[in-house]
Chains A and B, each alone.
Chain A
Amino acid sequence: MGGAFAAFAAFVSWASRAARRPRGARIGRVLAAKAVVSSSAVSLTAVSLSVVSLIAALAGDAAAQVRGTIVGPGSTSYPIAVSPLKGDERDGGRFADIVARDLDLAGLFKVIDRGAYIENAQSSGVTSDTINFDNWKTIGALALVKGTLERSGEGVVIEARLFDVVERKQIAGKRYRLEEGNVRRVAHRFADEIMLALTGERGPFDSRIAFASRREGRFKEIWAMSLDGGDLQQVTHERMITLSPNWSPDSRSFLFTSYRTGNPSLFSIDLGGGTPRLVSSQRGLNLGGRYSPAGKAIAVALESGGQTDIALIDPSGQFLHWVTRDRALDVSPSWSPDGRSLVFCSDRGGGPQIYTTSADGGPARRVSYQGNYNTSPAWSPKGDRIAYSARIGRRFQVFVVDVKGGDAKQITDTGGDNEDPTWSPDGRYLVFSSTREGRAALYMSDVSGAHQKRLTPSGGDDSTPSWSRWLE
């Protein structure tokens, strides 16, 4: 009892300190000064960069605790109800839709259909002492999301709470202040909080995917979206071939390769669009540029005279040093999360295989031992595993292997080609492109291969995805 009181006191003290902290600058509209192609590009900028301020953790009538693994790997269908926020039917409903979709994508939850909910969200209680938990127990929910949305002259405030239905207690609660129209960001952040409370680890949904797509005609351009695809937006307008986007560590821009000058050169572009900045234009390939975790260097495959090797350059394009320098074809670098190593694809052993090496260069250690064609590696943010694409028979499948070596686990087993895996920021999910249903689309899977779901509408020819870190 004393421990609970002490925890409660600590929360109140933290909350009041947080409330006094100065707000971050409202960055949202600044990028409107750059050339913007469409109004929806502006709203994407506002959503991605305006500050969603976490004002306070909400104390319930008992100290909020992180429950740890109520829902763990291997468990499926933990039943949860997500009620629309009270105070605004339209945006309160949108919030619930987005949270529900994220929890569905997570593969661990069964979100109970809103048609089954007994009470009216706009007129029922939202705190543990005012909620009728029997209404939720009856429909089979073990957890419940409820909250409020308030508009005032100063903007919008959302309070979102997660309850344990059986114990009738609040498990988590957050209050957010946001710009108008930013309900998406708050919903994704709270979905991540729900996963933190119920699985012990923060969820990956407050993040973005960038990818190359041919969905608007014959030119491949780079598009960006949240996992649920609700804010799908074209970013580049090169009207040429564009490839292999990779996010900056702050998730506000990405590197990509474009043939806009005729040579495949490396560019950087802000998420809000505008004029790309030339980063590296060595004659020949400048391909697969990837920021180091601290953002101080870019690993990139540079080709001249038919010879492709991996180099480090700085963010302005200045050459630093070679990482590989040999007669082999070395391509597709990916950083370890500690920034000290790189994993890449090389045919130095005959056919394409996966190797790791120090970012300073030096001897490489082979990681893939099954099959004779392994490419497009990606190092998990947890540091312990590498995902890659392997040719099995006539198809490409996604594999995950422990960094230390050992058996590789096959994640996909479908018709079509499954390529270019990219990791979620929490290291529990992968997104990759797959032609299993025809033209390439993006799919999501957890790291064990379960809960695979298509993310992008079909017909797009979507490839080379990059999953950002959490948006902050």
Chain B
Amino acid sequence: MTRSLRLATILFMVVALAAGGCAKKKKTLDESSTDVTGAGGESGLAAGSSLDRFKHGLNPEEGGVLKDVHFAYDSYELDGTARDVLAANAEWLKDNSRAKTEIEGHCDERGTVEYNLALGARRAKAVKDYLVTLGISGDRLSTISYGEELPLCREQNEQCYARNRRVHFVPPQ
């Protein structure tokens, strides 16, 4: 038990560093004024995330072992279908109790860049909260928003918009 706990702690720290850069407390901000050198800074990129794929010239993925959920326009509510998908994802996560994942919030291209980034964050958080209610430890789930920046498709039609309004799970390491 102790060894697993230690291992889990190390895994958590690795994933946390990989997933979102320096972890900071939510309520206050540390002074942060350091030079960032080089064009890499890759320590913050979760391997296999949509951003990581993008950097390496790959399109974002749709689904995976953990399935995407989709949203209505300008909404972060989980409908029945979404909850079913998340229930199945929760089952997988319970069966693979060491797996961590990053939850990505995405939007379609309508609406402005900044608002969509905030909306994507809401979507990712809504999914995380629901998984927690299903019994998955929040320590295993990090969130990030990409707004409209990493779409699956770029056509200007309803079908493409619906595909892009999604939460995607980074393949668990």
Q: Which residues of A contact B (CB under 8 A)?
A: 212, 218, 220, 237-241, 243-244, 259-265, 267, 275-285, 287-288, 301-308, 311, 313, 316-319, 329, 331-332, 345, 351-352, 373, 375-376, 389, 391, 396, 417, 419-420, 435, 463-464
Contact = CB atoms under 8 A, between A and B. Distances in A.
B136 interface: no
B39 A238 contact: yes
6 contacts: A241-B146, A280-B29, A285-B117, A306-B121, A307-B125, A419-B113
Contact of B18 (A262, A329, A435): A262
Interface size class of B (residues with CB under 8 A): 35 or more
B118 A282 contact: no
Contacts of B48: none
Contacts of B173: none
A441 to B, nearest CB: 15
A218 B118 CA distance: 23
Interface of B: 18-24, 26, 28-29, 31-37, 39, 41-46, 49, 51, 54-55, 57, 74, 110-115, 117-119, 121-122, 124-126, 128, 143-146, 149-150, 156
B114 A301 contact: yes
A177 to B, nearest CB: 36
A376 B115 contact: yes
A389 B114 CA distance: 12
B39 A264 contact: no
Nearest to A463: B113
A329 B112 CA distance: 14
A375 B107 CA distance: 15
Nearest to A267: B36
A276 B39 CA distance: 10
Contact of A282 (B19, B24, B51, B74): B24
Contacts of A278: 32-36
A319 B22 contact: no
A277 B124 contact: no
Given A306-B125, A317-B32, A417 B51 contact: no
A317 B29 contact: yes
A307 B119 CA distance: 9
B115 A345 contact: yes
A304 B54 CA distance: 24
Contact of A419 (B42, B51, B112, B143): B112
Contacts of A239: 39, 55
A331 B29 CA distance: 18
B36 A332 contact: no
Contacts of A317: 29, 31-33
